[in-house]
A and B are shown apart, each in its own frame.
Chain A
Amino acid sequence: MKNVPTLLRRELNAYFASVLGYIVLMFFLVVMGVTFAVIVSYLNRGPTQMTAMKIMFSMFWLPSLVVIPMITMRLLAEEKRAGTLEMLMTAPVTDFEVVFAKWLGAVVLYTLMWALTVLYVLILHHFSGGTAALDLGPIATGYIGVLVIGQFLIAIGLLASSMTKNQVAAALMSFALIFLILIVLNWLGYLFQGGPVNKIVRALSPSDHMEDFSRGIVDLRPVMLYLSGAVWALFVATRVVESRKWR
């Protein structure tokens, strides 16, 4: 794994050497900024049970659905299309190092994006006069949730990117998978109220987990679920990259 820092640096540079990194950041900030403004004006109407950041975290699927396919689509698909994968894989690096560094690069960018929303917390803090209205504990665990779920979805996006030479196909594939994981699971939960199906869906659904995270609960079961999910996706992506060897 000694080549990971070198590869990671290249990945991060690549985001900002092209316009892609900036476009993604801009998209994310616009969506989150508008969401934040809507939430604040909604909360202004009168007292509710919800806090601003809790609603914010419950909306995490909205940027994820677009941003994650955007930051993962190029990762392997573009290397395959341009043939640079051959240059990479004939240097003394392992296939897993390459896959892992690409995943890590996307996770770092994703973390950076969400780190910018800490600004909203500061704004809330400033205007709420620093009273108990702002409970930092649940906000911190909410961010943990965003990262834990996000890193898993990035691994899924990377897996999609490993399977094609076409970036658009990769983006659509990861969009479909993320849609399935974030939206369809949640919707199934509504469809089957009560019963075993509901139980299973609730155990798997990121929106349910996010709800817990943003209430200050860090349940190790979903954390393990997402971490092992990511390990699985990275493993499969590595096998797909290696598949050139046994096809």
Chain B
Amino acid sequence: MQSMIKVENLTKRYAGVTALNNVSFEVNRGEIVGFLGPNGAGKSTTMRILTGFIPASSGRAEVAGLDVFDDSLEVRRHVGYMAENNPLYVDMRVNEYFKFRAKLKGVPHADRKDHIQAVLQLCGLTDVRNRVIGHLSKGYRQRVGLADALLAEPDLLILDEPTIGLDPVQIRQVRQLIKDLGKRHTILLSSHILPEVEMTCNRVIIIHHGRILASDAPENLMKTLNAGGLINVEVRGSESEVQAKLRGVDGVNSLQTRAGEDGYVRVTVEPKAGADPREGIYRVVAGSGWALRELSRTRTTLEDIFVQITRDEDEAEEERREQRRSLLR
């Protein structure tokens, strides 16, 4: 498969700060890739380099086979970009703005009307096309930014925090829109909101302190990081008996119980790595004749993974620092 974005050993230093540290990754045509990281991780910096707004300090980046520095103007023709905080000309009308942007992006005169019509419809902006952008609600403005990115039918969409500051309904709408767009475009989007990336992206790249920590499909990330997740069991029985019997089940690492007032005992089981003791638990429960109200597994969310990876990284960082300090002493 042809790669849409190819980044090799990208490093970006600002005065005294290393925003990106030797980052390499690839995005294939047709993928929806989510850039995930806390604020200041280097997401926007990477996007700005890819769109030619700023150059990297070292390393290479290619979009559609073109070098982003040497062929900057050509690269920009392939990319639809929505920058952080979605900056727009607030004094212009929606229609006017799209006309201006279409001309700038080199959409041929004959196609301009059709393109504008198409993005107005796609992003649900037809009703507000004659309104001044500054008077629109945040949700509409976000859609204007998204529509602008789509205007020239680019191969690649780069969206920096596309749903930030929206209410839940609007977030759902924008998410759906992005999913639909993914059928025809390659998309790289950034977010520090995990469910968003989890729901819209085929692949997640986790970035922290300017370094890539993980890059995989959300499902795989969950699989590799923690096969288990916790298991919740609720049975009617005496607490001590439940505790003793369940502890003996194959694959159970540890468990905690809490007796409820209605005679049910709530058990939280931590399975051994890679094991799934649910079947064993069921057999014990059935054999003991307890009533069973719940037997479920909590899914590991990207949030857990993210917290874990970044914490591991921070700990490793701290360890390295400690080593250096002891060496100096």
* B-binding residues in A (CB < 8 A): 3, 6-7, 9-10, 13-14, 17-18, 82-84, 86-94, 244-247
In the complex, the chain A residue whose C-beta lies closest to that of B92 is A17
Most chain A CB within a 10 A radius of its CB, from B87, B101, B105, B148: B87
What 9 pairs between A and B have smallest CB-CB spacing?
Answer: A83-B87, A17-B91, A90-B51, A6-B103, A92-B76, A91-B104, A84-B87, A86-B83, A92-B73
Does residue B273 face the partner (Cβ distance < 8 Å to A)? no
Known pairs A17-B92, A83-B83, A84-B88; A90 contacts B104 (CB<8 A): no
Q: Which one of B52-60, B253-261, B282-290, B305-313 is at the interface?
A: B52-60
Instruction: Report whether over half of chain A's contact residues are helix, strand or loop; otherwise say mixed.
Output: helix
Interface size class, chain B:
20 to 34
**Digit string of B188-232 for contact with A (CB within 8 Å is 1, else 0)?**
000000000000000000000000000000000000000000000
Known pairs A6-B100, A7-B104, A91-B104; A86 contacts B77 (CB<8 A): no
Beyond known contacts A9-B100, A91-B101, A92-B105: 7 more, CB 8 A cutoff: A13-B96, A14-B91, A83-B84, A86-B83, A87-B83, A90-B76, A90-B81
**Alpha-carbon separation in the docked complex, A69 to B23 (Å):** 44
**Alpha-carbon separation in the docked complex, A27 to B85 (Å):** 35
From residue 99 to 126 of chain B, which have CB atoms closer than 8 A to chain A?
100-101, 103-106
**Alpha-carbon separation in the docked complex, A87 to B14 (Å):** 21
In the complex, the chain A residue whose C-beta lies closest to that of B91 is A17
Chain B residues near A93 (CB-CB < 8 A): 104
Contact check, B55 vs A247: say whether CB atoms are below 8 A apart.
no
A244 in complex: contacting residue of B54, B79, B85, B101, CB < 8 Å: B54
Contact check, A86 vs B79: say whether CB atoms are below 8 A apart.
no
Distance (Å) between the CB of A246 and the closest chain B CB?
8
A90 in complex: contacting residue of B74, B83, B88, CB < 8 Å: B83
**Alpha-carbon separation in the docked complex, A246 to B56 (Å):** 9
Distance (Å) between the CB of B74 and the closest chain A CB?
8
**Alpha-carbon separation in the docked complex, A6 to B92 (Å):** 14
B106 in complex: contacting residue of A7, A83, A87, A92, CB < 8 Å: A92
Known pairs A91-B76, A92-B76; A86 contacts B87 (CB<8 A): yes
Contact check, B87 vs A82: say whether CB atoms are below 8 A apart.
yes
23 A-B residue pairs with CB within 8 Å: A6-B100, A6-B104, A10-B92, A13-B96, A17-B92, A82-B87, A83-B83, A83-B84, A86-B48, A87-B83, A87-B88, A87-B148, A89-B53, A90-B51, A90-B52, A90-B53, A90-B81, A90-B83, A91-B101, A92-B73, A94-B73, A245-B55, A247-B14
Chain A residues near B73 (CB-CB < 8 A): 92, 94
Most chain A CB within a 10 A radius of its CB, from B73, B79, B101, B103: B103
A86 in complex: contacting residue of B14, B53, B104, CB < 8 Å: B53
Does residue B1 face the partner (Cβ distance < 8 Å to A)? no
Distance (Å) between the CB of A203 and the closest chain B CB?
41
Does residue B327 face the partner (Cβ distance < 8 Å to A)? no
In the complex, the chain A residue whose C-beta lies closest to that of B90 is A82
Chain B residues near A244 (CB-CB < 8 A): 53-54
Known pairs A17-B92, A244-B53, A247-B14; A91 contacts B105 (CB<8 A): yes
Chain A residues near B100 (CB-CB < 8 A): 6, 9-10
From residue 255 to 301 of chain B, which have CB atoms closer than 8 A to chain A?
none
